[in-house]
Amino acid sequence: MSDRSVYVIAEAGVNHNGSLALARQLVSAAAAAGADAVKFQTFDAKKLARASAPKADYQRQTTDQAESQLDMLSKLELPREWHAELKAHAKAEGIEFLSTAFDIDSLDFLAGLDMPFFKVPSGELTNGPLLWRFARLRKPLVVSTGMATLSEVEQALAVIAHAFNAESEPADLDEVWEGWTRPEWRRSLQGRVTVLHCTSQYPTPMGEVNLLAMDTLAQAFGLPVGYSDHTEGILIPVAAVARGAVLVEKHFTLDRSMPGPDHRASLEPGELTQMVRDIRALAVALGEGAKSPQPSEWKTRKAARQQVVLARAVERGQVLTRADLATARSGAGLPAATLWQLVGQPANRDYAQGDLYQP
């Protein structure tokens, strides 16, 4: 992720509802909105959740409450045979294809698709074995931190550093932490890991966004930060860019009224387009940070700033008093701040009221 631009991921996730045609439409909509990438989710429901696993509250509110999490996920799997077609369709539309893995077999499958980077989902941040395998693929990583404490984020980064530098999986966490004490292992994350602030609630209440945590992550680890958003609307992802996000991820759907766990907290295509447009405009508006006149300001600067003029007529050699001097917009002449140093000096020629003082 570059600190000079903002990478926008349009998160299709499971909003394909088990339909290849709908998945293709989501790819096209993401491309039309101007996103950099469209992302899905790849998992084997039976490996991801046991039959007894409960649904999250938001999932119970948006899907059949009598249905188990496993049954819900089984309907939302992205079949392996769809991936190549969706990737080709994304390429034809001029957008990157991404998908997030939630189990090792799915990750191994995605490794063969030559994606530009891998996204670690928030739920797997503390899944050391899977996280280690993510890092072992030697591709850049985008690590989401929903539900996490700062210490859990640090442990995840330590696991990634171990995978980048060690020969084999660690025997225990002590080995991971021992590696984390090495400055060169910590430095190995630079240029390879981006950390996303996230609140894993769909939709996220404004009072739980906590955008300042982006600053905390950046200061704690010295890595690029971004934001994975689950709020309603586009205000917060745009605000995240203003706070320094180099990557923004946002769920989208073709229609929020569709059945499924994530549609309600997703943008519709027109909103996604507006979000991308606003992010691109804001990224340009942020500029380089140096405080200096902009090219378009130079003529205004000359027209708007005041110079030293005579408040009343004076004769050559007359000692100037404060009452003799004033300022006015003149387009040229001595800057207004030089007025004070002229007080007590003899006038260098005759002046009429309103004349520009000439040195």
Extents of the domains making up the chain: 7-286, 295-342
Name 142's bridge partners.
119, 194
Q: What kind of architecture, by CATH, is found in domain 7-286?
A: Alpha-Beta Barrel (3.20)
| 76 has a pLDDT exceeding 90 | no
pLDDT of residue 45: 81
State the pTM of this model: 0.87
Task: Please give the order of strands across the beta sheet that includes 193-198.
Answer: 96-101, 37-42, 7-13, 247-251, 225-229, 193-198, 141-144, 118-120
Distances (CA, A) of 266 to 119, 230, 342: 19, 8, 65
pLDDT of residue 44: 83
Average of per-residue pLDDT across 225-250: 97
pLDDT tens digits, one per residue of 55-74: 577 676 666 666 777 777 77
pLDDT of residue 2: 47
| 253-266: b (≥16 Cβ within 10 Å) or e | bbebeeebbbbbbb
Give the chain's radius of gyration (CA, Å): 29
| 3 has a pLDDT exceeding 50 | no
